[in-house]
Chains A and B, each alone.
Chain A
Amino acid sequence: SYELTQPPSVSVSPGQTARITCSGDALPKQYAYWYQQKPGQAPVLVIYKDSERPSGIPERFSGSSSGTTVTLTISGVQAEDEANYYCQSADSSSTSYVVFGGGTKLTVL
Chain B
Amino acid sequence: QMQLVESGGGLVKPGGSLRLSCAASGFTFNDYYMSWIRQAPGKGLEWVSYISISGNYTNYADSMKGRFTISRDNAKNSLYLQMNSLRAEDTAVYYCARADLRGGDPYFDSWGQGTLVTVSS
Contact = CB atoms under 8 A, between A and B. Distances in A.
A42 B111 contact: yes
Given A86-B44, A100-B46, A33 B111 contact: no
Interface of A: 1, 30-31, 33, 35, 37, 41-45, 48-49, 54, 84, 86, 88-90, 92, 95-103
Interface of B: 35, 44-47, 50, 59, 61-63, 95, 100, 103, 105-114
Contacts, number: 66
B109 A96 contact: no
A1 B62 CA distance: 9
A43 B46 CA distance: 12
A49 B103 contact: yes
Contacts of A92: 105
Dominant secondary structure of chain B at its interface with chain A: strand
Contacts of A84: 44
Nearest to A100: B45
Contact of B106 (A41, A86, A90): A90
Given A30-B105, A43-B95, A95-B62, 8 more contacts: A45-B108, A48-B100, A86-B44, A92-B105, A97-B106, A98-B47, A100-B45, A100-B47
A63 to B, nearest CB: 12
Contacts of A35: 45, 108
B107 A45 contact: yes
Given A42-B95, A42-B114, A43-B95, A48 B47 contact: no
